[in-house]
């Protein structure tokens, strides 16, 4: 593994191909903007996160200087996760739960906003 790619490092996915090099978990759909005037029901629907898990070649990753500490995600996704669709869905649900807890706690706000180019 190249020195730049370390566990917990935030990376931008440039292009994905089915080469089994790195297992990546990330956010496919970000939470929407919330305000104080919104009720609990609307707040809950707007705070949802849609995760993804992929197997990506290292040459299609762009590492950044940012890091995110999510030790619990390491055990949720492995090479065996991609063998059956039911295992994949279960791991996505677990990742979604972890990311939504992180979002509602207010930690790492920058991670839950879409990149602007």
Give the residue carrying structure tokens 């791991």: 91
* Spatial separation of the C-alpha atoms in residues 23 and 3, rounded to whole Å: 17
pLDDT tens-digit profile, the chain (117 residues): 557 778 888 888 776 656 657 888 889 999 999 999 999 999 999 999 999 998 888 888 888 888 888 777 777 887 788 888 899 999 999 999 999 998 999 888 888 988 776
pLDDT at residue number 15: 65
pLDDT at residue number 93: 94
Q: What residues does 61 pair with on adjacent strands?
A: 13
Give the chain's domains with CATH numbers: 9-110 (2.30.30.770)
Residue 25, Cβ neighbours under 10 Å: how many?
20
* Centroid of chain to Cα 57: 17
Candidates 55, 68, 96; CA nearest to 7 is 68
């Amino acid at each position: 593994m190249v020195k730049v790619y370390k566990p917990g490092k935030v990376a931008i996915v440039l292009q994905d191909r089915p080469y089994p090099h790195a297992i990546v978990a990330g956010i496919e759909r970000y939470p929407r903007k919330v305000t104080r005037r919104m009720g609990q029901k609307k707040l809950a629907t707007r705070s949802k996160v849609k995760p993804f898990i992929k197997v990506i070649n290292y040459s299609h990753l762009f590492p950044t200087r940012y890091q995110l500490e999510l030790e619990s995600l390491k055990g949720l996704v492995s090479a065996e996760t991609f063998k059956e669709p039911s295992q994949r869905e279960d791991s996505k649900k677990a990742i979604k739960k972890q990311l939504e807890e992180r979002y509602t706690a207010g930690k790492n706000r920058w991670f839950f906003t879409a990149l602007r180019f």
